[in-house]
């Protein structure tokens, strides 16, 4: 307890030098926690949106289907196995039929995917109920991104050309009956959503589908009669890898911030030992062992971290709390990035994040404070008192 009091008095007595070190270190605290919280919040929001809008509880894929190979789409369709059809009939899954097509808005040509979905489905958040309209015109649902790129509005008619199961080309006009907004670009960009039965008739593929989306929160799902089940881990793999790359970039920022703060503390310790030679010699001469003096100086350096944590909490908690409540607005350009990013990202600051960051910084500060103090063990008390330290 006496050592803590003495170390604190020495720090306060150092004046501005101490508080500059504390300020730099506290900024490192706050920035690291903010950046990690931002990435964690983005991760939770993106996973939530992708599950609700596109993935559900996982997907069953036709054996020929590969979303990264457009040539497989022609042959990746088939009738559903009996067990899978039973899940569809009970509302536990919804089938999607996918086909390539070309759209001609105002004479321009845009490659799109036709996706058929049951208007009555409740598995994903897509507002497919808007497709449940009567009439001879084929209703189509599009996202805001495609609507912006193609300059289409509700009630507009647009010509679409496709290729059916026999390889024959056909074309017709479809009517835009709804425009939805989503944070998931893979549900929006270049995609026309049609009623499943209408698309099956257009493609001459009765009762067939390309994928089947299972209801979320279902467990222990597996392949069914050749239809491969893709889990959430597999379907979110690309996003997780992208997020890991962002975390690596963030780690570089953490290292730079900590390096600046640690350099300041290291220099402060070296200067303090040089300027306090007589004090060190006197302490040793009065009976303190060299390692007790080393512990005292190390404690002084480590207390920079404690004071920085307190200072960071004073201005960091209100600042980060406001961002956690109101979120961080993202620029409009993020819609074109092809990433699942909401208009506002709400950072998540868990107790584990704050605790781990604080612990890592305190350990690092203690180690950096100890390194220059080892010189004290080689001091001669008489020379130190006379100011002749080597």
Domain ranges of the chain: 2-51+238-385, 59-230
Q: Are 177 and 141 in contact (CB under 8 A)?
A: yes
> Considering Cα of 139, then 142, then 146, then 147, what sign does the dihedral take?
positive
**Residue pLDDT, tens place only, 245-274:** 887 777 787 788 778 777 777 777 676 666
User: Is the per-residue pLDDT at 315 higher than 80?
Assistant: yes
The conformation of residue 62, written as its DSSP 8-state character, comes to -
Residue 389 has pLDDT above 80, yes or no: no
Q: pLDDT tens digits, residue range 114-173? A: 999 999 999 999 999 999 887 788 999 999 999 988 999 999 999 999 999 888 999 999
Q: Cα angle at 39 between 361 and 345, to 5 degrees?
A: 130
How many Cβ atoms from other residues are within 10 Å of residue 81's Cβ? 16
Condensed to tens digits (0 to 9), the pLDDT of residues 34-90 reads 888 888 888 889 899 999 999 988 999 999 999 888 888 888 999 999 889 998 999
Between CA 64 and CA 307 the distance in angstroms is 61
Pairing of the two strands 169-180 and 191-195:
unpaired
Give residue 8's pLDDT: 62
How far, in Å, are 11, 94, 195, 346 from residue 121 at the CA level? 66, 6, 11, 30
Q: Give the pLDDT confidence score for residue 250 in this predicted structure.
A: 77
The pTM of the full predicted model, rounded to 2 decimals, is 0.79
pLDDT at 74: 87
Ramachandran category for residue 124: left, alpha or beta (phi over 0 → left; psi -120 to 50 → alpha):
beta
Q: Name the pLDDT band for 104 (thresholds 50, 70, 90).
A: very high
Say what the pLDDT of residue 124 is.
92
Backbone φ and ψ for 102, nearest 5 degrees, come out as -130, 135
Angle between helices 237-275 and 351-373 (to 10 degrees): 30
Q: Taking a C-beta distance cutoff of 8 angstroms, is the pair 212, 78 a contact?
A: no
H or E element in which residue 38 lies: helix 16-50
- The pair of structure tokens assigned to 326 is 């109101």
Taking the C-alpha atoms of 195, 94, 337 and 320 in order, what is their torsion angle to the nearest 10 degrees?
130
Query: DSSP code of 346?
Result: -
Quick: pLDDT tens for 48-58: 999 999 998 89
pLDDT of residue 364: 82
pLDDT band, very low/low/confident/very high, at 203 (cuts 50, 70, 90): very high
Mean pLDDT of 17-26: 79
φ and ψ at 113, to 5 degrees? -110, 130
pLDDT at 220 over 90: no
How many angstroms separate the CA atoms of 304 and 369, rounded?
A: 9
């Amino acid at each position: 307890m006496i050592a803590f009091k003495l170390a604190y008095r020495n720090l306060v007595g150092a004046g501005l030098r101490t508080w500059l070190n504390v300020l730099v270190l506290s900024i490192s605290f706050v920035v690291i926690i903010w950046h990690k919280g931002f990435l964690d919040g983005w991760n939770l929001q993106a996973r939530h949106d992708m599950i609700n809008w596109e993935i559900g509880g996982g997907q069953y894929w036709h054996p020929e289907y590969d979303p990264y190979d457009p040539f497989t789409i022609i042959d990746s369709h088939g009738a559903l196995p009996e067990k899978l059809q039973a899940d569809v009939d009970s509302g536990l899954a919804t089938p999607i039929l996918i086909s390539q097509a070309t759209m001609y808005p105002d004479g321009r040509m845009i490659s799109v995917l036709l996706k058929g979905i049951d208007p009555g489905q409740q598995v994903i958040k897509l507002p497919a109920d808007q497709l449940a309209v009567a009439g001879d015109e084929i209703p189509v649902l599009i996202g805001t991104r495609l609507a912006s790129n193609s300059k289409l509005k509700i009630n507009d008619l647009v010509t679409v050309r496709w290729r059916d199961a026999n390889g024959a080309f056909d074309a017709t006009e479809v009517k835009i009956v709804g425009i939805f907004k989503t944070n998931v670009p893979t549900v929006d960009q270049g995609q026309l959503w049609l009623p499943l039965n209408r698309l099956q008739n257009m493609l001459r593929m009765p009762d067939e589908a390309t994928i089947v989306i299972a209801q979320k929160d279902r467990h222990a799902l597996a392949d069914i009669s050749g239809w491969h089940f893709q889990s959430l881990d597999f379907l979110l793999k690309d996003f997780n890898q992208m997020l890991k790359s962002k975390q690596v970039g963030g780690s570089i920022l953490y290292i730079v911030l900590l390096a600046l703060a640690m350099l300041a503390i290291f220099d402060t310790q070296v200067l303090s030992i040089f300027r306090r030679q007589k004090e060190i010699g006197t302490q040793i001469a009065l009976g303190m062992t060299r390692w007790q003096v080393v512990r005292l100086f190390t404690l002084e350096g480590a207390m920079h971290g404690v004071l920085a944590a307190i200072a960071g909490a004073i201005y960091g908690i209100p600042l980060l709390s406001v961002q956690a409540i109101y979120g961080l607005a993202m620029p409009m350009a993020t819609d074109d990035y092809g990433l699942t990013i909401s208009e506002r990202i709400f950072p998540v600051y868990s107790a584990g994040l704050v605790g781990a960051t604080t612990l890592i910084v305190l350990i690092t500060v203690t180690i950096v404070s100890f390194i220059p103090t080892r010189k004290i063990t080689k001091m001669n008390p008489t020379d130190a008192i006379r100011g002749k330290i080597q």
